[in-house]
Structure 1
Amino acid sequence: MEETHDNQQFPGNDSIQCEADDEYKYHAYTAVYIFVFVLGLLFNGAALYFFCRVNIRKGITTICLMNLTIADLIFIMFLPMRISYYQNGAVWNFGDVLCRLTAYSFFFSMYSSIFFLACLSALRYVFTVHPVMISIRTVVKLCAFVWVFTGVSTLPFLLSGTQVRENVTRCFEPSGLLSWRRIMYMNYYALIFGFLAPFLTILICNGLLIRHIIQTSMTKGIIRKHATLIFLVLLVFSVSLLPYHIQRTVHLHYLVHHPNICSLHDVLQRTVVATLCLAILNSCLDPLLYVFLGHGFKSWLLLICRYKYYTSNLKSSSTNPFGIDTVLREEELEMD
């Protein structure tokens, strides 16, 4: 379901086989994966440190964002093997088990992130309208359920291991019509329960939240925070996740039901490269939520930057005018 464009040849099938030109994508994937690995590891790592060590108060927003950070880091930690794979011209040198785990990590991380974004939107709406209905223990249990549900639901992606093609060991490349058909049905399940259901939840909760904001007198600061959350979540879905799921569904349908239309498959192969790159950029878009919604995360980053600038220019000074060692005064959010 991930890089489902790599091999369109169905061994044992009497239909015409379409030759796949894969060379163009290797450089694109390598560059994007390196970019996501560096920035994603930097910002998500800093966010996880902040949520665990700096921000002592663990509210509803913090718990959701912390789990979202962990979901992104799970995918990021497997990126070096993907980078090596495409730098070597799509030759897998890490064994069948790591191939399966690397493919699994992509879907496990992506759909965990989707559900945590849905939980963040739903919890923020419920807390705003009925603030006494949610406890921290309930939020923790909900996040634990998301981990278990997503982990079990994405287990079928462990079935896709290494494949030997042209005497070279490949990964992320199913072969055979039966494999593609199985992936197509897995895609329908993931599309409905892993994307559309959370996306509809986000749209409904944010729509109800907007109506509540219009009907209720709130301060400009609170309205701005709600508007920021709604905009960023919809941005992540519309830019990163929606194009990928639409293109993947269309591509798999034509790949299974119309394997002989080579000109169409060539176009779909090239568009899947673009949409997959947008999908993995999700790990770099999520940190925008940390900056605008994390309790004091933006202030903490600015404080660190100012401190680094200060120490680089005044290394001999033993004083710290910016108070790094003092307790960080967190921003007040209405959810906590």
Structure 2
Amino acid sequence: MHCHFNGTLLIQLLPPVLITEFILGIVGNGLALWIFCFHLKPWKSSTVIIFNLALADFLLIVVLPFRASYYVSRMKWMFGDTFCNISLFLLAMNRTGSIMFLMAVAVDRYVRVVHPHHPINSLSIHKAVCCAFGLWVFTISMTAHLLAIPRDNTTRCESFTVEGKLQEGESNPMLMWHRTGFLLSFWIPLAVILFCTFQIIVHLRRTQLGQNAKIKKALWFITVVVVVFIICFLPSNITQLLAWIKKTESKDCHQLEVLDTAFYITITLTYLNSMLDPIIYYLSSPAFQKIFKKAIGVRQAEDIADTADIRLEKPGSNSKSISQL
């Protein structure tokens, strides 16, 4: 089967979306890494997980300008075959890394709420780093094949496509594995995250701890993780699955082009994850929230308000300031 897709809609739609994701993502994740590295002390095992999530997001974000340039150039890759493979590898590796660490965040909250006395809750920083390293090794092993995909001097730079002979999964075992790994690396973590969320909700209802403020925050946090995960990763996996099925049973190039276009639009939503994850960092720790507010000037504004309240007190009065009432 040989189909040729012009990608007109992608050329018009994706560059501004990718640039927006890059700008907001680089600011949010750059600020988060700055807080983690220089201000958030001491670290906990959960901090190690969130830090690696931020690192995966940041490494993905830095590739987006090259993808935007690719679409601006009417889907002609201008940076050579080697860097094409490297950029596809970085996108896949860090997309998978984000999924793995989001799953780890959900598991961490599940254990802390449902099994508060489990030894894993007192995991040392060293062991947490070893676990994070293991997730990175797994992620790289799932995506390293992209570094070896033959380009055949083409100007296209894609790891997914249903057109032409160049990158048909049936003729390239690496691309077949890439498509399979793409689907499995979403559906399995999704099942784990949903299980953790369900178990947390059931546990809170059974023990009637839902009114506890700290528990409410944990429930809100895991809900945000689930919502971000589903919004960002579910659409692309559904469209990829549909495209794979349709390709085996249909020779209609128009239908395949519609699915191909839908997939590349939804794959851009996976990069949106790197823009939304700073919300998860913010909710993960009161200490992070405090440092973040100080970094953007919120603390300073509060201090000014407190100073103004103190000035409102009468000289010699023992009354409390307005802010203390």
TM-score band by shorter chain is 0.7 to 0.9
> 81-90 vs 128-137, which deviates more?
128-137
Which residue of the other structure, out of 171, 178, 184, is the alignment partner of 1:186?
178
- How far residue 179 of structure 1 moved from its aligned partner, in angstroms, is 3.4
Q: Which amino acid aligns with 1:101?
A: I
**1:224 pairs with 2:216:** yes
Q: Any idea what the Cα deviations from partners look like across 1:91-126, whole Å, max 9, x if unmatched?
A: 222111111010011110011111111111112222
Q: Which amino acid aligns with 1:127?
A: R
| Aligned residues of 2:109 and 2:222 also touching (Cα < 8 A) | no
**1:285 pairs with 2:279:** no
Residues in 2 aligned to 1:268 and 1:309: alpha-carbon distance in whole angstroms:
51
**1:142 pairs with 2:120:** no
- How far residue 161 of structure 1 moved from its aligned partner, in angstroms, is 5.1
**1:172 pairs with 2:147:** no
> 291-300 vs 104-113, which deviates more?
291-300
Q: Which amino acid aligns with 1:95?
A: G
Q: Which amino acid aligns with 2:294?
A: L
What does residue 101 of structure 1 align with?
86
**1:35 pairs with 2:20:** yes
| Aligned residues of 1:163 and 1:171 also touching (Cα < 8 A) | no
> 145-154 vs 268-277, which deviates more?
268-277
SS at 1:51 equivalent:
helix
Residues in 1 aligned to 2:237 and 2:198: alpha-carbon distance in whole angstroms:
23
SS at 2:42 equivalent:
coil
| Aligned residues of 1:41 and 1:73 also touching (Cα < 8 A) | yes
Residues in 1 aligned to 2:104 and 2:96: alpha-carbon distance in whole angstroms:
12
**1:242 pairs with 2:234:** yes
Residues in 1 aligned to 2:129 and 2:43: alpha-carbon distance in whole angstroms:
11
| Aligned residues of 1:180 and 1:252 also touching (Cα < 8 A) | no
Which residue of the other structure, out of 76, 79, 82, is the alignment partner of 2:64?
79
Which residue of the other structure, out of 293, 299, 308, is the alignment partner of 2:290?
299
What does residue 256 of structure 2 align with?
265
**1:154 pairs with 2:154:** no
Which structure features the higher share of helix residues? 2
Q: TM-score, normalised by structure 2?
A: 0.82
What does residue 44 of structure 1 align with?
29
What does residue 199 of structure 2 align with?
208
Distance 1:177 1:89, change over 3 A: closer
Residues in 2 aligned to 1:29 and 1:20: alpha-carbon distance in whole angstroms:
16
| Aligned residues of 2:293 and 2:299 also touching (Cα < 8 A) | no
- How far residue 188 of structure 1 moved from its aligned partner, in angstroms, is 2.1
Distance 1:308 1:90, change over 3 A: farther
Query: Root-mean-square deviation (CA), in Å?
Result: 2.5
**1:18 pairs with 2:3:** yes
Q: TM-score, normalised by structure 1?
A: 0.80
> 132-141 vs 194-203, which deviates more?
132-141
Residues in 2 aligned to 1:289 and 1:138: alpha-carbon distance in whole angstroms:
23
| Aligned residues of 1:229 and 1:289 also touching (Cα < 8 A) | yes
Residues in 1 aligned to 2:23 and 2:167: alpha-carbon distance in whole angstroms:
37
Q: Which amino acid aligns with 2:131?
A: L
**1:133 pairs with 2:119:** yes
**1:65 pairs with 2:50:** yes
Q: Which amino acid aligns with 1:238?
A: I
> 284-293 vs 35-44, which deviates more?
284-293
* Structure with max Cα Rg: 2
What does residue 314 of structure 2 align with?
none
Residues in 1 aligned to 2:150 and 2:167: alpha-carbon distance in whole angstroms:
15
> 243-252 vs 203-212, which deviates more?
203-212
| Aligned residues of 1:184 and 1:253 also touching (Cα < 8 A) | no
Q: How does 1:108-119 map to 2 (within 5 A)?
A: 108-119=93-104
Q: Any idea what the Cα deviations from partners look like across 1:219-253, whole Å, max 9, x if unmatched?
A: 53212211222211111221110111111121133
- How far residue 81 of structure 1 moved from its aligned partner, in angstroms, is 1.6
